[in-house]
Amino acid sequence: SMSDVSAFAAAVNVALYNQHHVVVQIPGVGVNAIKILPPVISTDEDITWFLHALDETLSGFYAGTGPAMSLGK
């Protein structure tokens, strides 16, 4: 179903906010993607920090330790 397609993007959105206070956007219904809208005044350090946060968040999903893994516990 359409909601299943975008479930991973929604989970990444929630995890990024909960763990790193990063706000991203889901581009639309049924789209398995996130939109990144950095400020025009972003520094190299800001971008590096964001990429680290995104990498850490995505790694958690693929390591079997993400939020969905704790639902049955």
Interatomic CA distance for residues 36 and 25, integer angstroms: 7
**Cβ-based neighbour number of residue 54 at 10 Å:** 17
Residue 72 has pLDDT above 90, yes or no: no
This model's pTM is above 0.95: no
Largest Cα separation within the chain, whole Å, is: 43
Report percent pLDDT > 70 for the chain.
Answer: 82
| pLDDT for 71 beyond 90 | no
pLDDT at 44 exceeding the cut of 80: yes
Q: Nearest 5 degrees, angle CA 11-CA 14-CA 18?
A: 135
DSSP 19-70: HH----B--STT----B----TT--HHHHHHHHHHHHHHHHHHHTT-SGGGG
Average pLDDT of the chain is: 83
